[in-house]
Amino acid sequence: MHRAVVALEGHIIDSLALPRVWDMIMDLGGNFDVEEFRVGKRKNEQSFVRLSVEAPDEALLEEILTAIQQFGATPIDEVEADLEAVTQEGVFPQAFYSTSNQPTSVRHGGKWREVENIEMDCGIAVADGRAFCLPVDEARVGQDIVVGYQGIRVRPLERARDRELFGFMQSQVSAEKPKKLIIGEIAKAIRQIRADGGSVLFVGGPAVIHTGAGRYLSALIRGGFVQVLFAGNALAVHDVESALFGTALGVNVESGLAIEHGHEHHMRAINRVRAAGGLRQMVETGQLTGGVMKSAIDHGVDFVLAGSVRDDGPLPDVITDMVEAQRRMRASLHGVRMAIMLSTMLHSIATGNMLPAGVRTVCVDINPAVVTKLADRGSWQSIGLVTDVESFLRELALVIETGAHG
């Protein structure tokens, strides 16, 4: 039998890390001995366990060690991480270590180095004593990339012990549950983040405008609660259409009644923005006097409009190349401590993929399947709400203002 000794430390029992490690070892066909076990007997004591893991061959042992690493089980010998150089532009060495979104360190030069900008499904580059996350597309010939499983330490986020919202909520809040208190807690968290100088990201789909909720998102922007905005062409087009004509895709955003022949408002709005040269020019020339995009421009929100294959037009402000769009989104994420994702599966998944596990995310959609997909990010930091986006934004805008004065 091939053996390795690993250690786990922390709230490994109530975070379920330890039972999961045991399960995984056995499920993969290995076995283990508990060599040492110190259990935290009280609420705020941590536990420690040392396991001897065994497997019939080296390949399986390696697989097991890689698998349990995501729960924080670290080989006890402090060996260095293996590095291998990129030999082809945009391609990792074959055995590259594929990241999770959990806080991760690599052992290099005799020290543990925190991986910067951690994000799932990337590689880890090491250079000048720094370790940082690298999307495969950005790999350049000669860069040193971490390969294998040794010398890598993952520290899964632990659930807060106190009754803190983002720890205690079930990850998904069904349509059958009350949402008042939750929205209140989200408002409180946003205000705390702002007080601490952190940023809040909103990711919005076109339903924000369709449902008439644009006014509430504008109010949040004006109140200083939105620093970054990710959306697509559709949100911006509907927003402009609604500012120019009072409709979104030809439907009156107040009444919900379809305007006969109103669908062409959509194309006229696009043509107008294209003629002006962009949204900013529309605002500057006084052609765009209201709406979410105007509020965003007026209040210096850092917005990224990423294109998609279904776009009409698109607006000149939309980034049509997806690699460039991802680069711009990543660049806007520094300092973001909470992400509110509103009725868009496409942009929410794109954003979720780029966020470290520690950023709190709130996902709002009326379709429970979408919420399930988005809220399940393997951390205690995500909440999904199955509800009407208009109701959510109305309540959030109301509560956050009241709180500000209360």
The single residue among 4, 53, 83, 96 that binds a second copy, judged by CB under 8 A, is 96
Please give the full DSSP string across 4-70, using - where no structure is assigned: EEEEEEESTTTTSHHHHHHHHHHHTT-EEEEEEEE---STT--EEEEEEEEESSHHHHHHHHHHHHT
377 binds a second copy (CB under 8 A): no
Among 404, 406, 385, which Cα is nearest to 183's?
385
402 binds a second copy (CB under 8 A): no
The single residue among 2, 9, 10, 24 that binds a second copy, judged by CB under 8 A, is 24
Q: Within 10 Å of residue 154's Cβ, how many Cβ atoms?
A: 19
215 in the Ramachandran plot: left (φ > 0), alpha (ψ -120 to 50) or beta? alpha
13 binds a second copy (CB under 8 A): yes
73: its two tokens: 């089980």
d(CA 101, CA 202): 20
The single residue among 28, 60, 76, 398 that binds a second copy, judged by CB under 8 A, is 28
x/- site string to a second copy, residues 113 to 152, per CB under 8 A?
A: --------x--------------xx---------------
The 8-class DSSP code of residue 130 comes to: E
52, 98, 107, 110 from 78: Cα distances, Å: 16, 20, 8, 8
From 35-43, 194-202, 221-229, 396-404, span contacting a second copy (CB under 8 A): 35-43
d(CA 355, CA 350): 9
27 binds a second copy (CB under 8 A): yes
d(CA 298, CA 293): 8
Are residues 350 and 371 in contact, defined by beta-carbon separation less than 8 angstroms?
A: no
x/- site string to a second copy, residues 292 to 321, per CB under 8 A?
A: --------------xxxxxxxxx-----xx
381 binds a second copy (CB under 8 A): no
380 binds a second copy (CB under 8 A): no
From 71-79, 107-115, 293-301, 324-332, span contacting a second copy (CB under 8 A): 324-332
Closest CB 218 distance from a second copy, rounded Å: 15
Within positions 55 to 84, which residues make up the interface with a second copy, using CB under 8 A? 63, 66-67, 70
23 binds a second copy (CB under 8 A): yes
Closest CB 92 distance from a second copy, rounded Å: 5
268 binds a second copy (CB under 8 A): yes
Within positions 154 to 173, which residues make up the interface with a second copy, using CB under 8 A? 161, 163, 168-170, 173
x/- site string to a second copy, residues 209 to 238, per CB under 8 A?
A: -xxx-------------------x------
Among 288, 276, 326, which Cα is nearest to 136's?
326
d(CA 273, CA 292): 15
The single residue among 288, 350, 374, 397 that binds a second copy, judged by CB under 8 A, is 350
